[in-house]
Amino acid sequence: MENSLENLKLPELEAIALRLKELRKLKGYSNYEHIAFELGMSRSAYWRLETGANFELKNPY
């Protein structure tokens, strides 16, 4: 049975989102729109990753 935990504000997801933002800034991207373009992602999809809203955890058991 698959267990999906969509759109929960878990500390782990917030930490991942914060790290993505830190890495983006370290690479010299001043805003998420520029890196989204470079990655071939929509701006909204990347923004959701940086805010921790676009993660899905699944339990394979």
Strand segments, DSSP code E, in the chain are 3-4, 58-59
Alpha-carbon Rg for the chain, nearest whole angstrom, is 13
Work out the pLDDT band at 31, boundaries 50, 70, 90. Answer: very high
Q: Give the per-residue pLDDT at 58.
A: 66
* Integer angstrom CA distances of residue 10 from 16, 19, 34, 41: 10, 14, 27, 24
Mean pLDDT of the chain: 82
- Across residues 5-27, what is the average pLDDT? 83
**Amino acid (1-letter code) at residue 14:** E
Q: Give the number of other Cβ atoms within 10 Å of residue 52's Cβ.
A: 21
